[in-house]
Amino acid sequence: MNTTLRVFVEVVERGNFSRAAEALYMTQPAVSQYIKNLERDMGVQVLDRSNKVIRLTKEGRIVYEHAKEMIGHFETMHHLLHDLEHEPKGDLSIGASYTFGEYVLPRVIAQLLKGYPEIQPSITIGNTQEIAEQVADMKLDIGIVEGDVDDAQLQVESLAADRMCVIASHDHHLTHQGDVKASQLEEETWIIREKGSGTREATEKLFEQMGIDPPHRMEFGSTQIIKESVEAGLGITLLSLWAIRKELSINTLATMEVEEGTVDRNFSILLKDKPMHTRSTLVLKEVLKKFVDHRHSSV
């Protein structure tokens, strides 16, 4: 049954039988037979083949969602059995939102591999919503995100505090003013992240607590582009202090002194809500905690 479910999931995710057959190193008739056997065993039609595009039936959607869960549990079982006798090793799929993924995670991975060189990490960077969905779907073993996550499928554990401040280029006229008023910030061009981003969520929270609604906004899809744009004088933004440590030290960016001009939030670790996780996943979790504790104590 495990092979049958794998074939079914591959057909659904690749959109047709031939691509699934190629990925599975099978013939197309063999793939078709597996699907027929699945439909016979389930007593329902799982795929609508009436058009050239394969679509899930309502029954197929249920089978697909549970098949993904079962495959994920089966793989976890194999990893856990291996972990009983061996040091953590093998693939580890890590997801992170942009701020943590681009500015903190590389150093965490360096620490991880010093202690566990046989772990093979792969990293996916996305916004908070995207990472949470992939952890819930078991496409990722672990996620580290900013912003609020409320999903019954996930275990959410606070990792580190994250203070966000209003940022401008070092030579911006407001960075040398002292106390900056909210009304002045409302007149500025704001460079903000896309919807679904934890940084975007924090920015909207800032506007609400300051009682402003800036009419001039530009929306960019990564923190790095926003930093470069702010340095170039295109506008101001709200960013995590974790993301701008280097720029503050070399005086290309500066924080503003604004009443109610900070947002405090947490980075969180996301795990699929299931009884057990691989040792590689749990090892990374411990390395993450030790790393952020050390960084905080050294500040």
pLDDT tens per residue, range 73-115: 777 777 666 665 567 778 899 999 888 998 899 999 999 999 8
The 3 state secondary structure assigned to the chain is: CHHHHHHHHHHHHHCCHHHHHHHHCCCHHHHHHHHHHHHHHHCCCCEECCCCCCEECHHHHHHHHHHHHHHHHHHHHHHHHHHCCCCCCEEEEEEECHHHHHHCHHHHHHHHHHHCCCEEEEEEECCHHHHHHHHHCCCCCEEEEECCCCCCCEEEEEEEEEEEEEEEECCCHHHHCCEECHHHHHCCCEEECCCCCHHHHHHHHHHHHHCCCCCCEEECCCHHHHHHHHHCCCCEEEEEHHHCHHHHHCCCEEECEECCCEEEEEEEEEEECCCCCCHHHHHHHHHHHHHHHHHHHHC
What is the percent of the chain with per-residue pLDDT over 90, rounded to a whole number?
A: 41
Q: 209-242: per-residue pLDDT in tens?
A: 999 999 999 999 888 999 999 999 999 999 999 8
The verdict on pTM exceeding 0.85 is no
Q: Specify the pLDDT at position 299.
A: 44
- What is the chain's mean pLDDT, rounded? 87
pLDDT tens, residue by residue, 124-159: 999 888 999 999 988 899 999 987 788 888 999 999
Check residue 191 and give its pLDDT.
97
Mean pLDDT of all residues in 41-61: 82
Per-residue pLDDT, 79:
66
Question: Could you give the domains of the chain?
Answer: 2-82 (1.10.10.10), 87-299 (3.40.190.290)
